[in-house]
Amino acid sequence: AEGIIERTTDVDVFRIEMPSSGSVSVSVGVEDGGMTNLDVLLELRDAGGALVAESNPATQVRASILNQNVSAG
């Protein structure tokens, strides 16, 4: 999926439905040569909205959650 940052207040939200329990990896960041001042916060939430994992790097424009076990939903 893709999102475009148009304003400093932009927030992009994506939904992933897992047909069965398993592992998921998610990454977000800018393309090479893109913004260098992006403040990235990546959150992975369960079907009920509870926070499962997050990545909030202080000095990087990329964030990843790798091999996170999640329930179906």
Residues 58-71: what's their mean pLDDT? 90
What b/e string do you get for 23-40 counting C-beta neighbours within 10 Å, with b at 16 or more?
eeebebbeeeeeeeeeeb
What whole-number percentage of the chain has pLDDT above 70? 93
Contacts of 66 (CB under 8 A, 6+ apart): 25
pLDDT digits (tens, 9 = 90+) for 21-50: 999 999 988 777 666 777 888 999 988 999
Work out the pLDDT band at 55, boundaries 50, 70, 90.
Answer: very high
Whole-structure pTM value: 0.78
In the three-class reduction of DSSP (H, G, I as helix; E, B as strand; rest coil), residue 71 is classed as: coil
How far is the C-alpha of 33 from the C-alpha of 12, rounded, in Å? 21
Top pLDDT among 66 and 37 is at: 66
> Which residues are paired to 55 by β-bridges?
42
Give the CA dihedral 15, 25, 51, 4, nearest 10 degrees.
Answer: -50
